[in-house]
Structure 1
Amino acid sequence: MLGLFSESIDSVENIYYLYINKFFEHIEVKEWSSDFEYLVLGRGLKQKTWPWTMRSFRMRNLLSTVKKKSLQNRNRTSRNCISIRKELARLVEQKQEEVTDEGFSIKSSAPSHTHGVQPLGNLYLSPCSVNSRDTGLGNLRTLSDELVLDILGFLDASSLRVLATVSKSFYVFTNHEPLWRNLVLENLLEGFQYKGSWKSTYVSACYPSFDFSANALGCFKVRDFYSDYLFQSWLCANLEMKPEWLERDNVVRKRGISVEEFVLNFEEPNKPVLLEGCIDNWGALRKWDRDYLVQLCGDVKFAVGPVEMKLGDYFRYSDQVREERPLYLFDPKFAEKVPKLGDEYEVPVYFSEDLFGVLGNERPDYRWIIMGPAGSGSSFHVDPNSTSAWNAVIKGSKKWILFPPDVIPPGVHPSPDGAEVASPVSIIEWFMNFYGATKNWKKKPIECVCKAGEVIFVPNGWWHLVINLEESIAITQNYVSRRNLLNVLDFLRRPNASTLVSGTRDRVNLYDKFKNAIEASFPGEIDELSRKEEERKIQQRKLSFWDSVADTNMGAFKFSF
């Protein structure tokens, strides 16, 4: 291979051009240039410092530059080729710095990928020029990995088992953990006991007599299998954030303020605040740990995603799991299932007014107990029914990121009617791809780490993301006060209320029920709030007009001088 470089400079650059061109055309490369490998590796980069190869678009950007340089210099002298090499090495180093600055590193305890999958960029740093992913898929190799998995998602477990024997490539695809996770969550709605992997969990539940001691489900690593898409889930499950990312804290913190101060400075202007010391008297804060909860309700089933799991089984799951989207215990009926849990906390005084209470048992879901391991949480969303919320951490800690209603977070794409939201698959993926961009935004997000004993107020309409930094337990409630009543009524009477409203079966009639109940309990309240809101808007328009006049006059004043 090195003998290739005794030829003319034109031949060498042709090798670069041919190699890169074949990459863009997805054609197998028959030869490998160790000199090109040097260019890509730059200053002796090692595998664990190749984060830029984890997403193919970055490699494409880099190789696109290489391609342009090659085209521009195909007929130049050897001296020019050396300058090209230096430039490319500089580009590689620059790419590496851009990515490592994103704040992530792989956990030191992270195992290698179960089936040996590597990011696609590694193919172009490997002596092997063939991706076993393509050779094993046959005619299906032209399909994207995502589409292949979508197709496999229609198969049952038996079909996946048979397909796994077709080739090494199909073995890797059919053992992709999210496929088996979906099978478990779709078929084992009454609960399950996690067995270290989703495939083992499914087999143990559906085939209880299966002999696991024989290690029949043991997996092997496939060599030279490269896929960004399949590698992504492993990557997200094994990344950790730099401490300085968690230290960003620009939320207003208050201790011991009055209800009037809270309403005036935060609830009325619709601004987040972190409240300290307001749940110090909770029994939950003193008692709720694993031992206490398992003893109290370890055999009680709670809502975990789409399934019901015994609390003891959920704790065992959270001890073993290492995945990009750990299941989150999020149950709206916890106090009905275990009344003592409801007795061991009380609503902080700042949120005592909740007008949805006029509906009694017909009110939408409004309170939840939340538990999850490190890495679990909620991706960007706006709380349901235009309500405000408070979230109290009892154990652990949570990273919060909040954007005001008029700022859609990067990477988040709500539908025009707000009924659906497209966003990255996992919270970690959002951090990987979009967190860094917020540093350059004029309107910075509100960020904080909320620890045990602290309560965060989430105003209505605010986008927020939450990730557990350690195993955490929390209580959260959504509520409607007079400051937010008109917003909620407007939301409930939208034409697509049957799609937007949540937490109740009677979505279409919720507006009429709620409005009638408010008018019966608080006669004239809606009219009075509407009158005050109209006065506020008129006052704002007047202020806005005189501000513009003042600006114009000021401009004229400066100009006259």
Structure 2
Amino acid sequence: MDRATFACSTAFFRDYSSSSQGAFCLPGGHVDFIEKAESFTYSDFFRDYLIPNHPCIFSAKFTEDWGSRRNWVTWDGKPNFDHLLQKFGEAVVPVANCDVKEYNSNPKEQLPFKEYIKYWKEYIKNDYRSSRGCLYLKDWHLSRAFPEQDVYTTPVYFSSDWLNEYWDAIAVDDYRFVYMGPKGSWTPFHADVFRSYSWSANICGRKKWLLYPAGQEDYLKDRHGNLPFDVTAPNLQDRSIYPRYNQSQPPVEIVQEAGEIVFIPSGWHHQVYNLEDTISINHNWVNGCNVAIMWCFLQDELAAVQREISEWKDPMDDWHLQCQLIMKSCTGIDYKEFYNFLKVIAENRISVLENGLDDEASAKNTPKAAISTLGMLHAVFDLKRTVKVLTSLSANEDFKKLDLTSLSPPPEALLHHLKAAIDTALL
């Protein structure tokens, strides 16, 4: 991060409101296409897309050196089933049935990868029809299962990735996925986990995206407050069911070609179609620009849980703890883990600012090496954003009702350390 971008980001977030981020990017508007890597810097992306929360498309030149682009695709741009079977045939993968709706999503099953490829070949041969329905391999943690494979390199633009930095540190999960599906497979209307950013790269095939800027989803809810499963369904025109639909604006529509990367802003709901047999790689990620959106989302989720079980508040001694447990089961995180998430992010940056990196650590693909590559000012920006959110968390009444004695260091001590590190770095 250069000094001009640091100054720009500091000014923007000084008067920042997470509820308004992205609201001024009107649906149906132009989506920028980034053609050349050599003329597009990290600071360009940070300033023009991350901060204002705008979508963009990166050309296929940004992925042309990836192993998956070379090896997973045949000469005519189709999935290379033989190569994929050779490398991953014995893996077990999650597969969704796009033809079935279950609790506003598609039901999933676990299948051997070789069985899924056999199905896919037969599906193509039968003119994209099958008694089994349209099956879509989704949310496969391939990088975690096969770390030795030469698949892709995360572009520098997406390298400030707090989600995967944290979950890698605790060795529990990650938010790096592979998707593979036939023509006609699709993903219903949704926003990404924790209202994170996402980037999605097509290894082969084409996708159509329908994007709704943050806030537009409110106009798409039915009279019970539920979001639609399919935003193209005719019944959305029925005002007795969807009373505010006529106030919504048309979505931003993107057709993503092979090799291209789409950047999806934080909190934008979307629906996605595979127009051809398609393989894609996707990351969900959070950083200093949208961590406040994540925090707002968690507060909204907890409030929804509290409303749902409000009748048990008086008779249940540990009602507040039960609300946290339910929220974690639904979203994957609770308030105490969110504190630990912020702590890990903060401590990694403080370590780099205070100690630097030795030559051996710099040569490795580690979070601290990535922090060092992005520069001291980026680390300071991250700490400033962490201070802002951690201050809000510490003052939150629901957080203060929890047993915080297990948190080490205590929130007040961590905040003091963060502020001291920022002051020292800016001397």
Distance 2:29 2:247 in 1: 16
State yes or no: 1:517 paired with 2:344.
yes
Compared CA separation, residues 325 and 410, structure 1 to 2 (3 A): farther
For residues 235 and 131 of structure 2, what CA distance do their matches in structure 1 show? Answer: 18
Structure 1 residues 504 and 431, CA gap change in structure 2 (3 angstroms)? closer
Sort the Cα spacing of 1:267 and 1:371 in 2 relative to 1 into closer, same or farther, 3 A: same
Structure with max Cα Rg: 1
Asked if the contact 1:364/1:503 (under 8 Å) is kept, the reply is: no
The one-character-per-residue Cα deviations of 1:279-310 (angstroms, maximum 9, x if unpaired) are 11111011112121012112321111332112
Q: Does 1:298 align with 2:298?
A: no
Q: 1:467 aligns with which of 263, 269, 273?
A: 273
SS of 1:443's equivalent in the other structure is: coil
CA distance in 2, matches of 1:423, 1:392: 26
Q: Does the aligned pair in 1 maintain the 2:342–2:386 contact within 8 Å?
A: no
Q: Distance in 1 between matches of 2:282 and 2:349?
A: 27
Distance between the aligned counterparts of 1:423 and 1:442, measured in 2?
A: 13
Give 1:265 deviation, angstroms. Answer: 1.1
Q: Which runs of 5+ in 1 are unaligned?
A: 1-247, 534-561
Partner of 2:93: helix, strand, or coil?
strand
- The answer to whether the 8 A contact 2:288-2:382 is kept is no
Which residue does the alignment assign to 1:423? Answer: 228
Q: Are 1:380 and 1:412, in contact at CA under 8 Å, matched by a contact in 2?
A: no
Residue in structure 2 matched with residue 478 of structure 1 by the alignment = 284
Structure 2 CA distance, aligned partners of 1:324 and 1:466? 21
Distance, in Å, in 2 between the alignment partners of 1:450 and 1:469 is 9
| 1:409/1:463 contact within 8 Å kept | no
Amino acid of the residue matched to residue 470 of structure 1? E
Which residue number in structure 2 is paired with residue 218 of structure 1? none
Per-residue deviation at 1:378? Answer: 0.8
CA RMSD in angstroms comes to 3.6
Bigger helix fraction: 1
SS in 1 for 2:232: helix
- Pick one of 282, 286, 299 that aligns with 2:70: 286
Alignment of 1:347 with 2:347, yes or no, is no
Q: Which runs of 5+ in 2 are unaligned?
A: 1-27, 73-79, 97-107, 124-128, 306-323, 351-379, 390-427
CA distance in 2, matches of 1:282, 1:422: 37
Equivalent residues of 2:349, 2:383 under 8 A apart: no
Report what 1:395 is aligned to.
Answer: 204
For the 8 Å contact 1:492–1:501, the answer to whether it is kept is: no
- Take 1:293 and 1:459, find their aligned partners in 2: how far apart are those partners? 31
* Equivalent in the alignment of 1:258: 41
Q: Is the 8 A contact 2:209 2:255 kept in 1?
A: yes
Are the structure 2 counterparts of residues 325 and 377 from structure 1 closer, same or farther at C-alpha, using a change threshold of 3 Å? Answer: farther
Q: Secondary structure of 1:522's match?
A: helix
SS at structure 2 position matched to 1:461: coil
| Distance change >3 Å, CA 431–CA 283, structure 1 → 2 | farther
Change (3 A) 1:311 1:249: farther
Shift of 1:260: 1.1
Distance in 1 of aligned mates of 2:256 and 2:223: 27
- What is the distance in 1 between the residues matched to 2:328 and 2:116? 29
Deviation at 1:474, TM superposition (A): 0.4
Shift in Å at residue 508 of structure 1? 5.6
Distance 1:323 1:262 in 2: 45
Note the C-alpha offset of 1:315. 2.1
User: For the structure 1 residues 397 and 410, does the alpha-carbon distance in structure 2 shift closer, same or farther, using more than 3 Å as the test?
Assistant: farther
State the alpha-carbon separation in 2 of the partners of residues 415 and 261 from structure 1. 42
Cross-structure match for 1:274: 57
Aligned partners of 2:219 and 2:247 also within 8 Å: no
2 CA distance for matches of 1:283 and 1:415?
47
Q: Secondary structure at the match of 1:271?
A: coil
Q: Name which structure has the greater RCO, CA cutoff 8 Å, separation 6+.
A: 2
Q: Deviations over 1:361-416 (max 9, x none)?
A: 34653111101111112111000112111000001111100001110187554976
SS of residue matched to 1:331: strand
| CA 502–331 in structure 1, closer or farther in 2 if over 3 Å, else same | farther
Per the normalisation by structure 2, the TM-score is: 0.57
1:311-322 equivalent positions in 2, closer than 5 A: 311-318=113-120, 319-320=122-123, 321-322=129-130
Matches within 5 A, 1:110-509: 250-256=30-36, 257-276=40-59, 277-288=61-72, 289-305=80-96, 306-318=108-120, 319-320=122-123, 321-322=129-130, 326-341=134-149, 343-356=150-163, 357-359=165-167, 360-362=169-171, 364-408=173-217, 412-413=221-222, 421-424=226-229, 427=230, 430=232, 443-492=249-298, 495=302, 496=305, 498-499=325-326, 507=334, 509=336
The letter for the 1-side match of 2:111 is: M
